[in-house]
Amino acid sequence: MNACLSLTAALVVGLGSTVVAHAQTGASTTAAPSTSSTSTAPAQGLTYPVTRKVDQTDNYHGTVVADPYRWLEDDNSADTKAWVQAENAVTEKFLGAMPQRLPTRKLYTELYNFEKFGVPYKEGGRYFWSRNDGLQQQSVLYTARTLKDTPQVALDPNTLSKDGTVALTGTAVSRDGRLMAYGIAGAGSDWQTWKVRDLETGKDLPDTIEWVKFSMASWTPDGKGFFYARYDAPKAGEALTGTNYFQKVYYHRLGTPQSADALVLENPAEKQWGFGTEVTDDGRVALITISRGTEHANGLMVLPLDGHGGYAGAKPIPVTLSFDAEYSPVVLDGQRLIVKTDKDAPRGRLIAIDLDKDWKAKDAKTWTTLVPETKDALSQASGVGGQLLLSYLQDASTLVRVHAPSGKPVRDIKLPGVGTASGFGGKWNDAETFFLYTGLTTPAEIWRLDARTGKAELFKRTKTAFDADQFESKRVFVTSKDGTRFPIFIAHRKGLKLDGNNPTLLYGYGGFNVAMTPGYNVTAATWMKMGGVYVLAVLRGGGEYGSEWHEAGTKLRKQNVFDDFISAGEWLVANKYTQPAKLAVNGGSNGGLLVGAVVNQRPDLFGAAVPQVGVMDMLRFHKFTIGWAWISDYGSSENPDEFQALIKYSPLHTIKSGQRYPAIMVTTGDHDDRVVPAHSFKYTATLQAADTGPAPKLIRIETQAGHGAGKPTSKIIEERADMLAFIANTFGVDVK
């Protein structure tokens, strides 16, 4: 059983990898337009645009905080658009003059240009997998009856727009393999439109579903319709926030308008509830996972279907709505629901919940442990071939164990090396599953696994211009400020001299229970080919060591994440991999916040920084789009204690004028409706107005682009290559 989509996904941004995956505050405010402006600040011959200030202040629990660039929050205003154009002109002039720009883009393109495959899955007697021939703007979804058949195109997103900005966001195939519901989104937006395609004819049916966000679809076994979650259509001029709009579960019956869809579940009293619905393998019920923002804890309900595998209007029955832990359904085996949980087990375990004939869960005291907690963090579980496949993280690398339905250990799956394996999806009666394996210097491989024997055989191995034999990677452990030990993964060309002179790129995330594990990505490969050292840091706040590790990097303890990242940088310097003048830091979304915070705290430790689509205004993030959902990790400025923690590290509010800063290039998209571009706009304006030394402080704003998901290949190459060229230029690296 596949895991339901979580709002956690609303804050994750990728690395440019070929495989690897945010009302009122109670503050009193005053606002009055002003004609004052910042003075221009030169940097290596740069003259930044003049950014108008307004007399805006907010009172947070007795602390008055200025917000002079509040007007930049309106990304649709003529003034903001003019500012974007002016900033992009300065940045483009600077980047265009760099001798590293074109050769870096050429190298990045060469390394990006290889076949990329998604992990196959099977439904209705068909196999499905995605493939990109190398430089296609979007990957194409293929289908075949057998693995030996010539695959046919199921859906080519490249035909949906001229510029390649329309992306496929999800698919759901009916049990008979005849129909496929699919979601699409344009310009990087989180808003999705869902349609239905006849896989035999390749034509779409009239059915159209709108106002979907953070939801997939799940068919009833009778093939007459599917479940999905959506919001009400926003009123004209009104933004969607966690206080005025909320998600609802619907059932769409084929051939009827969306207005006729049956409302399955809503809770106006809990507007922050989000839903993921999935029909069980045996087709008797649908399981509804209920999230609250990006909280790790969730609720779980059972929705009975009729005897013919259809939806007849039944109401969901709670299994648990305590929200005291994670409860992720794995498989329904008879009347026994197997669930992955961290209840009383911070690193995870499997439990069995008995359901009576009316689908009511028996008392929690009767729930039994199938697979107890281990020293390794249980990251994923699935039920395939009548067995339980459990993926663990062992110091941030994957370990896969197979257990019988009783919980008894059967075998470990041998993986190609120390790296990341993902996939292992399928149904309880399937004889096979597929998984992807990758490492920092190992491009993705797709493997087919016999679920009953444990035998794995290679299905797809891509050929790239990256010669892995010339490079090496290793895992070492670093001690943080408070004595906490954490791993970092280091990759570079073989024969590296530890003379403190190597250009080094340090990447981190550290949040939302998201595990950072080693995987091949073109950004790292290009940097290594340029002679650099690439480092992935495993920080608190992530999910690499279970819920306690995650919680140690949240709210009042968020500083732990920054301390870890700073300690990783200090370790690299102390062990003569590099020096501060040649150490760059990069991260996206929550990782952009990370970069902004550590640069403000230790500007002396870094030579360059690239925060991508970062959460930079920690006092107002919850006021925009999905930002309210991140309070579970960050806290809120509405809370006095949490405000005091936020104001101490908020990148926008902790820029230190009078200190020498590294070269910084901020990146964002003007259509980002996840981490709205105002974060990057206000941060950049503040940075440019401050006295932080001669190094450039630039912003690269992608137009007609959002948070990163579904971004066309050409835009990925241009943005990531510009990032590497900017760092190389700063460090004086000669790119050939």
Q: How confident is the model at residue 705 (pLDDT cuts 50, 70, 90)?
A: low
Report the interhelical angle of 78-96 vs 678-689 (nearest 10°). Answer: 60
**Amino acid symbol at 278:** E
Question: Over the stretch 43-84, which tens digit does the pLDDT of each residue have?
Answer: 456 899 999 999 999 999 999 999 999 999 999 999 999 999
CATH class of 466-731: alpha beta
Contact by Cβ (8 Å): 126, 143: yes
Rounded mean pLDDT of 326-348? 98
Question: How many Å is the Cα radius of gyration of the chain?
Answer: 25
Which of 712, 508, 466 shows the shortest CA–CA distance to 610? 508
Question: Over the stretch 417-462, which tens digit does the pLDDT of each residue have?
Answer: 889 999 999 999 999 999 999 999 999 999 999 998 999 999 999 9
CATH of 114-461, one of 1.20.1250.20, 2.130.10.120, 2.60.40.10, 3.40.50.970: 2.130.10.120
Q: Length of the chain in residues, anyone?
A: 736
**Amino acid symbol at 514:** V
Would you say residue 139 has pLDDT above 60?
Answer: yes
Rounded mean pLDDT of 126-150? 96
Rounded mean pLDDT of 7-21? 39
Boundaries of CATH 3.40.50.1820 in the chain?
466-731
Boundaries of CATH 2.130.10.120 in the chain?
114-461
Q: How confident is the model at residue 673 (pLDDT cuts 50, 70, 90)?
A: confident
- Strands 218-219, 116-117: pairing kind: unpaired
Q: Could you give the CA distance from residue 410 to residue 197 in angstroms, rounded to a whole number?
A: 41
DSSP single-letter state for residue 592: H
Contact by Cβ (8 Å): 398, 391: yes
Calculate the average pLDDT of the chain.
Answer: 92
Region of poorest pLDDT, from 34-43, 174-183, 327-336, 593-602: 34-43
Rounded mean pLDDT of 169-177? 97
Instruction: Read off the tokens for 218.
Output: 């799940």
Rounded mean pLDDT of 610-614? 97
Compute CA distances 569 → 503, 581, 599, 637, whole Å: 12, 12, 11, 30
- 686 three-state secondary structure: helix
State the catalytic residues: 589, 707
Q: Judging by beta carbons within 10 Å of its beta carbon (0-12, 13-18, 19+), is residue 170 exposed, middle or buried? A: middle
Question: Over the stretch 577-592, which tens digit does the pLDDT of each residue have?
Answer: 999 999 999 999 999 9
**Amino acid symbol at 577:** Y
**Predicted local distance difference test score (pLDDT) of residue 674:** 82
Would you say residue 598 has pLDDT above 70?
Answer: yes
Which of 446, 579, 415, 376 shows the shortest CA–CA distance to 130? 446
- Strands 409-413, 420-423: pairing kind: unpaired
Would you say residue 138 has pLDDT above 50?
Answer: yes
Q: Could you give the CA distance from residue 153 to residue 136 in angstroms, rounded to a whole number?
A: 14
Q: Which residue matches tokens 């932080």?
A: 692
pTM (global) more than 0.85: yes
String of DSSP letters for 64-111: EEE-TTGGGG-TTSHHHHHHHHHHHHHHHHHHHT-TTHHHHHHHHHHH
Rounded mean pLDDT of 262-273? 94
Which of 13, 74, 94, 77 shows the shortest CA–CA distance to 700? 94
